[in-house]
Amino acid sequence: MNRSSGFLDATHDYQTKVFCLISDHRVFRSRSPGMFSTVIGRTGIKGAYVPFRVEDDNIGKALESLLVLNIAGAAISAPFKEKVIPYLDVLSEGANIIGAVNTIVCKDGRLKGYNTNAIGIMDALNAAHFDIPGKKALVIGTGGAARAVAFILNWLRAESILVAGRDKEKTRRLAERFSGTPRRLSDLPEYPVNVDLIVNATSISGCDESDELTDIVGSMKTGGCRLVFDLNYGRRDNIWQTLAQKNNIRFMDGMSVLAYQARRTFLLWTGRDVPQEEFLNALKE
């Protein structure tokens, strides 16, 4: 029996399992619930995937509630990828190195945090046939997603990593953690960005979301860039896509990253190694 047919004919698991997504107001525009719900239904698992909107000062209570409510696993999105760490019992090696968590497994009364973002980003770049070794990269942002990007670029032996952010000290710390060079975001228009890859790891992609960032991106000089990679998806009037089009650069959004990291998250939650195409197909439905 091949992997695909094994997936479709999976033995039913009659123990009810509930998984969730934790974010702020952005939780309701995520494609994650629809994707996971489709895959859960195809596996024969009896359960559900639920989006939870959590206010910033309630993240600790939300994490405590996972065990109380018998949640089997949680996906963590912005802005909580770093903030959940103090409330977890243990971190995987990768999550500890990166300093950010996007997946929590709830088992035996303990919460264990993982980071599948970094490997998902690697898988998406591999699928796009973009090789990182020897390449120069610019990472925009200093949050949990930026940490995952900088980590995987460094691990894949990028020649250089430039990290640009608003907060000078936070930018410096992130850059130094992953052998990169810090740059103030506001300084980007002043210098040619001579890199092969630009990655937007902020939560901003639409021109109506930040006048400041829209102006900065619109003024950037992108000599030699081969790929603009926006980790967000589904945004109208995307400033990163406009940057790519204006300079005749290939553009890729974060939809594929969502699918690739989801497969690894689902394996951690359930032990089911579901074929990657099932997650990609679920996003098309």
Is 81 annotated as catalytic?
yes
- 182 contacts 175 by C-beta, under 8 angstroms: yes
Query: 17, 61, 81, 170: which one is catalytic?
Result: 81
What is the rounded average pLDDT of the residues 86-112?
97
Average pLDDT in the chain: 93
What pLDDT, in 10s, does the model give residues 63-88? 999 999 999 999 999 999 999 999 99
Is the pLDDT at 270 greater than 50? The verdict is yes
| Residue 223 pLDDT | 83
Amino acid identity for residue 98 in this structure: I
Half-sphere exposure of 53 (CA within 13 A, CB side): 7
Give 24-30's long-range contacts (Cβ < 8 A, gap of 24+).
24/53, 24/54, 24/55, 24/56, 24/78, 24/79, 24/80, 25/53, 26/77, 26/78, 26/203, 27/51, 27/52, 27/53, 27/77, 28/53, 29/234, 30/77
Domains of the chain: 3-115 (3.40.50.10860), 119-255 (3.40.50.720)
Q: Please state the pTM of the whole predicted model.
A: 0.91
What pLDDT, in 10s, does the model give residues 152-172? 999 999 999 999 999 999 999
| Residue 285 pLDDT | 79
